[in-house]
Amino acid sequence: MREVQKTREEWQQELTGQQCFVLFEKGTERPFSHPYNDNKEEGTYVCAACGTPLFSSETKYDSGSGWPSFFMPVAKDNVEEIVDKSHGMTRTEVVCRTCGGHLGHVFNDGPKPTGLRYCMNGAALKFHKAE
């Protein structure tokens, strides 16, 4: 059971169509289409649906994939990893532990120190600039 649970209609009233598509239909935005891919400001990326802190700008890097990429979450307990066998392949899906929103996938081809690449959809995130 998720800490934040809402109906599809409630999410549609709070989020854009693109955010609903990505977060609750497990959609994917086009690569290089979201401004967060190129964002270099300091701050924290949170879940666009529920506001749970997910990633720090300190762990963001340019993976060349076209999606905002991070080598680790703010707190491992804030995300959940789920085996995803859709689209004829096996990947690891990353969802927000608080609301269950689909964020993207994690891969084992990232930089040190973790070797991980959390490849996230910008539409699933909101950015809070550091003060």
50 is in an annotated binding site: yes
> Quick one: pLDDT at residue 18?
97
Question: Which pair of structure tokens corresponds to residue 28?
Answer: 């994917």
Distance CA 111, CA 113 (A): 6
pLDDT (mean) for 36-53: 98
13 confidence band (pLDDT: 50, 70, 90): very high
pLDDT (mean) for 55-69: 98
Residue with tokens 């690569």: 31
> Tell me, what DSSP letter sits at residue 41?
-
Distance CA 49, CA 13 (A): 11
Residue with tokens 């800490």: 3
Q: Does 119 participate in catalysis according to the annotation?
A: yes
Compute how many other C-beta atoms are within 10 angstroms of the C-beta atom of residue 72. Answer: 17
What's the pTM value of the predicted model, to 2 decimals?
0.94
In the chain the domains, ranked by start, together with CATH numbers, are: 8-129 (2.170.150.20)
Catalytic site residue from 119, 120, 123, 124: 119
DSSP reduced 3-state for 44: strand
With 90 as the cut, is the pLDDT of residue 4 above it?
no
20 is in an annotated binding site: no
CB burial of 86-113 (b: ≥16 within 10 Å; e: otherwise) equals eeeeebebbbbbbbbbbbbbbbeebeee
99 is in an annotated binding site: yes
Task: Enumerate residues 6+ apart whose C-beta is below 8 A from 87.
Answer: none
Question: How distant, in Å, are the alpha carbons of 51, 69, 78 from that of 4?
Answer: 10, 25, 13
